[in-house]
């Protein structure tokens, strides 16, 4: 008995220390320590119950023996009374301890009825004690769980202990909670069931957290499994411990997966791997790190890796999560996009170049249409050819009307190699009437107007209009020439050549028409219309400058007799001969005109009367010496009567000066022909 009291004191001391702690300090006590103490207290309670039962049976037998007979007996109660006191105190301490324990406690009889619960049980379930004691435990369970409880309770009574079982219990307010029970059946020395001792705790929040964690893990597992990108879990030793199908397929390992492999096995470039892992250890993660990885077949492929370290609560390294993306298709797409962008850029640049060329061609065409003479077009063509065909040199050749050669009238760039004048037969383009693009020095169609050793490609384009060859556009120094550039170069050259040909043809036509308008068809000299326009212009210029102007009018003597003798064709030939003679006899700035019939007029600007008279005398004297050939026969010569008039001495207007010269010419005829007569001054004329 003394040993039992000593054991009770030890248990009570341990329980008192636990109950003395409050708040966070009590929460720090390991649950296993509390469960162990409660279990020992349960055993102690059973022993106390057994002792109480023995005492009650002894007391009952003593009272029974005294009823039928009247006997006197004296017994020593000195030992029994302290024992009863110790039992009563132990029981009170037991109930105090269990009421203050943080775990719920209940005791069930053989039928499953509740014999005893502690305060924690009542607080968890929300019931007062009087509504709990004596009730079957199954009524506090979730509907449908009663049969399961009965089976479990039967096993408990037969086996003696159920380590842990979970029940869904219904609180008094109707809320369902989840509890975890540790139960033990108490039996007497003969193995007869006496009661159960059960400890339980509410684990609703933990179960919810576990369920949430389970769902999260399931979602994470499904995410990893279904993720299109490779995902792998690597342990602290860099071994692959988990991976999805995408990872196995990405690295070429198929169904067997990455079992037994380490991350080092997937990299050939160890320095690059060490650099990446160093960044991972320093920062705890890497994102979008591009590195080449080795597949099972030994081939390398570019991957983008995002890696995060996994650490325990104490900071211990648990491994890492690897998310990879194969960049092979992406880089291929980027390469295709880059190639496409390069092509688009080239097309845009080509379009810009074409637009620039067309702008230049249109500008050239517009300016060529504004040119009044061929001499104006030649430098303009060279200027635009240099702009349209940059980094080249070349020349514009024109067919000479009075020779069988084509001559260079303008050049651009460096001095062109080859002849500047050559017969059309030396150029294959002129010979064939089509463009000749010679990109190979060894080709047979090499033009003879270029040196045989000329190394660069060149282009010759005939300038044609209305089936007539006007000239040649020649381009040299095509250093960047390629077969691909041949077609656009030829197309551009043809476009430029067409505009040049059209402009040259139009200007030639305008010059022809203008020549016909202002020139006499028979003699080739200017006609009367041109004479009148030019005379007024020269009179105005002379008046402004204060310079004299001389006018010579001559008429062939006996021209009618010449016509009657030799015929009109011979007369036309005589007039043609006089026209050629006058054209050759005057200065470049002088103007020779056929006034009408056999009358001719010469305008000598800024010439004194002495020079005019001298020139008139030379014409009168030299013309009869010019042979007139008609049908192979030299005809007799004719003379001319000449009249001279000056501005401003003989008139202030062109008409007045022309009338004065005409009067002087008629006075020369009246005085016997074949002579020069100067007009009378204006005063004398008025008298």
Contact 680, 657 (CB under 8 A): no
Specify the pLDDT at position 683: 59
Contact 276, 289 (CB under 8 A): yes
Specify the pLDDT at position 23: 54
Residue 151 in tokens: 């089976």
Q: How buried is residue 111: exposed, middle or buried, by Cβ count under 10 Å (0-12/13-18/19+)?
A: exposed
Q: Which CATH class is domain 2-66+74-202?
A: alpha beta
Query: Would you call the peptide bond into 648 cis, given omega within 30 degrees of 0 as the criterion?
Result: yes
- Residue in the structure block whose two tokens are 């004296």: 74
pTM for the full predicted model: 0.53
CA 161 centroid distance within chain: 76
Residue 511 neighbours by CB under 8 Å, 6+ apart: 373, 374
Contact 436, 429 (CB under 8 A): yes
Specify the pLDDT at position 22: 59
At 50, is the secondary structure helix, strand, or coil?
Answer: helix
Beta bridge partners of 407: 398, 421
* Cβ-defined contacts of 379-385 (< 8 Å, 24+): 379/410, 381/410, 381/500, 382/410, 382/411, 382/412, 383/412, 384/360, 384/496, 385/412, 385/473, 385/475, 385/496
Beta bridge partners of 181: 165, 200
What CATH homologous superfamily does 227-326 map to?
PAS domain (3.30.450.20)
Per-domain boundaries in the chain: 2-66+74-202, 227-326, 351-515, 519-686
At 471, is the secondary structure helix, strand, or coil?
Answer: strand
pLDDT along the chain (687 residues), means of 10: 56 66 62 63 58 55 48 48 63 64 86 91 92 92 91 83 81 92 84 86 87 83 80 87 82 77 86 88 88 86 89 83 87 87 89 90 91 90 91 90 86 88 91 82 73 85 89 86 83 92 89 83 91 91 92 94 90 92 89 93 93 94 91 87 94 92 94 93 57
Contact 185, 161 (CB under 8 A): yes
Specify the pLDDT at position 319: 87
Specify the pLDDT at position 69: 46
Residue 356 in tokens: 């620039």
Specify the pLDDT at position 640: 94
Q: Which CATH class is domain 351-515?
A: alpha beta
> 519-686 adopts what CATH topology?
Alpha-Beta Plaits (3.30.70)
- Fold: same for 227-326 and 519-686: no
Residue 640 in tokens: 């001319």
Specify the pLDDT at position 253: 81
Active site residues: 598
């Amino acid at each position: 008995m003394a040993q039992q009291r000593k054991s009770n004191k030890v248990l009570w001391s341990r329980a008192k220390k636990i109950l003395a702690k409050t708040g966070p300090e009590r929460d720090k006590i390991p649950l296993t320590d509390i469960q162990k103490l409660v279990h020992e207290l349960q055993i102690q309670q059973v022993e106390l119950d057994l002792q109480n039962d023995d005492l009650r049976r002894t007391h009952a037998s003593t009272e029974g023996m005294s009823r039928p007979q009247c006997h006197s007996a004296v017994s020593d109660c000195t030992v029994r009374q302290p024992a009863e006191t110790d039992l009563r105190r132990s029981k009170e301490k037991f109930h105090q301890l269990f009421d203050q324990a943080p775990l719920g406690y209940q005791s069930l009889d053989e039928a499953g009825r509740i014999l005893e619960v502690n305060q924690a049980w009542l607080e968890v379930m929300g019931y007062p004690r009087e509504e709990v004691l004596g009730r079957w435990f199954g009524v506090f369970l979730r509907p449908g769980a009663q049969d399961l409880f009965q089976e479990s309770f039967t096993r408990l009574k037969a086996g003696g202990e159920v380590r842990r079982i979970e029940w869904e219990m219904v609180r008094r307010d109707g809320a369902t909670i989840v509890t975890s029970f540790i139960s033990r059946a108490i039996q007497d020395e003969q193995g007869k069931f006496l009661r159960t001792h059960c400890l339980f705790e509410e684990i609703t929040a933990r179960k919810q957290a576990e369920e949430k964690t389970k769902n999260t893990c399931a979602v994470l597992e499904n995410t990893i499994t279904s993720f299109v990108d490779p995902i792998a879990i690597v342990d602290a030793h860099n071994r692959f411990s988990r991976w999805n199908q995408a990872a196995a397929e990405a690295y070429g390992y198929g169904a067997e997966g990455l079992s037994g492999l380490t991350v080092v096995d997937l990299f050939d470039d160890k320095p690059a791997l060490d650099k990446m892992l160093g960044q991972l250890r320093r920062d705890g993660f890497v994102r979008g790190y591009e590195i080449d990885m080795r597949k099972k077949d030994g081939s390398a492929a570019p991957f983008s890796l995002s890696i995060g370290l996994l650490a325990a609560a104490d900071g211990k390294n648990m491994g890492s999560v690897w998310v990879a993306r194969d960049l092979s298709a992406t880089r291929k797409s980027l390469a295709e996009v880059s190639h496409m962008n390069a092509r688009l850029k080239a097309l845009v640049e080509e379009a810009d170049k074409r637009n620039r060329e067309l702008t230049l061609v249109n500008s050239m065409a517009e300016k060529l249409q504004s040119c009044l003479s061929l001499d104006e077009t030649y430098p303009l063509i060279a200027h635009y050819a240099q702009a349209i065909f940059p980094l080249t040199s070349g020349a514009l050749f024109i067919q000479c009307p009075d020779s069988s050669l084509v001559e260079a009238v303008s050049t651009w760039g460096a001095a062109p190699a080859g002849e500047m004048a050559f017969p059309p037969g030396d150029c294959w383009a002129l010979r064939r009437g089509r463009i000749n693009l010679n990109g190979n020095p060894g080709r047979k169609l090499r033009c003879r107007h270029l040196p045989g050793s000329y190394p660069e490609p060149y282009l010759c384009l005939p300038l044609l209009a209305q089936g007539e060859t006007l000239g040649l556009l020649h381009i040299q120094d095509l250093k960047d020439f390629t077969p691909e550039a041949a077609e656009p170069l030829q197309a551009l050259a043809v476009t430029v050549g067409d505009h040049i040909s059209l402009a040259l043809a139009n200007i030639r036509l305008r010059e022809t028409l203008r020549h016909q308008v202002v020139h006499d068809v028979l003699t080739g000299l200017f006609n009367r219309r041109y004479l009148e326009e030019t005379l007024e212009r020269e009179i105005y210029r002379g008046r402004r400058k204060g310079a004299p102007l001389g006018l010579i009018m001559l008429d062939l003597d006996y021209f009618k007799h010449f016509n009657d003798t030799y015929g009109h064709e011979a007369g036309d030939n005589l007039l043609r001969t006089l026209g050629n003679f006058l054209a050759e006899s005057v200065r470049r700035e002088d103007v020779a005109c056929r006034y009408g019939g056999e009358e001719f007029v010469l305008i000598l600007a800024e010439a004194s009367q002495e020079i005019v008279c001298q020139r008139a005398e030379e014409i009168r004297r030299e013309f009869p010496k010019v042979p007139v050939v008609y049908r192979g026969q030299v005809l007799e010569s004719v003379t001319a009567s000449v009249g001279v008039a000056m501005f401003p001495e003989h008139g202030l207007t062109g008409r007045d000066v022309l009338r004065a010269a005409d009067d002087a010419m008629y006075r020369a005829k009246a005085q016997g022909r074949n002579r020069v007569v100067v007009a009378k001054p204006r005063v004398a004329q008025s008298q």
